[in-house]
Structure 1
Amino acid sequence: MRKWMRIIYPLTMMLLLAGFGTSSNIEVKVPKTLIVLKPTPVLYPKSSIEINETNIVPPFLGSTYVGFKEALAFKESQGNYFIINTFGYLGKYQFGIGTLQLMGVYNASRFLNDPRLQEKVFRTNIARNKWILRRDIHWFVGKKIKGIVITESGILAAAHLAGPGNVKKFLRTNGNIDYKDAYGTGLSDYMRKFSGYDVSTVMALRNPKV
């Protein structure tokens, strides 16, 4: 008898469990309050994360030269090689025609459609600005102006925005002359935003050409 019970009992349990799993007569109703009718915003702890223009940077590039140029490009054009802004500035780093000519580039269409050329022009321009501002870099790096710690990368980023002449005016007037572009972005904003990058791999060059 015990042998039969050992056989019958497991079979009975299997049939009962199978019956629960295959029933098609049970209708499940979802309460109206739980039905998702449209997408909803995802909540996050805003007290610990602040999303704004100053901290949106390309990830994982750190404080290297590559991190510097990509962060600057993201600010200028969101990294788009093939864009022209409303004032006619071109490409990933938003160069004006006059600056391109200083670098030895005279064909705007070719420049806009050649990412490699754009990268060369950017590095060449950084080298040129580094030469022009070499004394100011020596004098002012490490000092504070208007609450901004002056760094080499901040100076070079500001020169990309406003030109080296305007950077000299800012530094030598203790921040009293602060150039702003047509969109209202100040030279000091770039000096603050792009501080602390390592741009030592770019050598200062006098009148470099692409």
Structure 2
Amino acid sequence: MKRWIGFLGHLAIIIIFTSFGTYSFKSKSVVEVPFQLKVTSTYLSYVPSLIDFQNQEDQGSPILLGKSYVGFKEALAFKESQGKYEIVNSLGYLGKYQFGSSTLKLMGVSNAVYFLNDPVLQERIFELNVARNKWILRRDIKRFVGKRINGVIISESGMVAAAHLAGAGNVKKYLRSYGQNDFSDAYGSNIAHYMKKFANYNISKIKAQHNPKV
């Protein structure tokens, strides 16, 4: 009798939990996600990590940004500083794009501390410097884009990136010597490498400008 009572008690408990589980499942209603919150694109399906960027660094093209102007500036920024606005390197170059103080003064910036703490200003200075280098190199862009030097098809973006590294004057020397007169910075980066790494980005939205200032 005790065994039967115990068995019936366990059976009753099982029936109660089974009924409860069935009821809970059936009671759930389907909630329609508003159209505005639905994901319609996989463009930003994940946030890239630093390792992702390091794996992409040799291709010179940040994840998701492709060959756009934004892709160009972010690829160059990652090469220069890993995209960090507050960095000052061992040679005194400043910010996300590693500008020298002399270049900043040319464009109207004299306060290094203010510059380091103003990301908007850093982005603006980079844009103006692209415009400035395009102006200085305007004749060489017409003459050399599409030609092959040291195995690399010369592009406007490659020239502008190399000018960011070495100065537009040194880029002119490199092009006009057909790659014989190269320039390397203190860390070993040279014009030929930048020409290849930053080739074929679309930077046409930035127009050449003579002596731009903030």
TM-score by length of 1: 0.75
Query: Which segments of 5 or more consecutive residues in structure 2 lack a partner in the other structure?
Result: 1-10, 15-54
- Give every structure 1 segment of 4 or more consecutive aligned residues whose post-TM-superposition deviation is greater than 6 Å: none
Task: String of CA shifts for 1:131-180, please: whole Å, max 9, x gaps.
Answer: 00000000000000010110000000000000000000000000001100
1-structure distance, mates of 2:64, 2:159: 23
2-structure distance, mates of 1:156, 1:56: 14
Q: Which amino acid aligns with 1:188?
A: A
Aligned length, in residue pairs = 165
Of 174, 187, 201, which aligns to 2:178?
Answer: 174
Match runs of 1:1-210 below 5 Å: 51=55, 53-55=57-59, 57-210=61-214
2-structure distance, mates of 1:157, 1:200: 14
Q: Percent identity?
A: 63
1-structure distance, mates of 2:85, 2:78: 11
Maintained 8 Å contact 2:56/2:63: no
Q: Which amino acid aligns with 2:68?
A: T
Which structure's residues are more often helix, by fraction?
A: 2
Task: String of CA shifts for 1:25-71, please: whole Å, max 9, x gaps.
Answer: xxxxxxxxxxxxxxxxxxxxxxxxxx574136421001110000000
1-structure distance, mates of 2:213, 2:70: 21
1-structure distance, mates of 2:60, 2:178: 28
Task: String of CA shifts for 1:96-155, please: whole Å, max 9, x gaps.
Answer: 000000111000000000000000000000000000000000000000001011000000
Q: Aligned with 2:64: secondary structure?
A: coil
Q: Aligned-residue CA RMSD in angstroms?
A: 1.9
Go from structure 1 to structure 2 and tell me whether the alpha carbon gap of 1:102 and 1:178 turns closer, same or farther (over 3 Å shift).
same
2-structure distance, mates of 1:146, 1:112: 37
Query: Which segments of 5 or more consecutive residues in structure 1 lack a partner in the other structure?
Result: 1-10, 15-50
Maintained 8 Å contact 2:157/2:202: yes
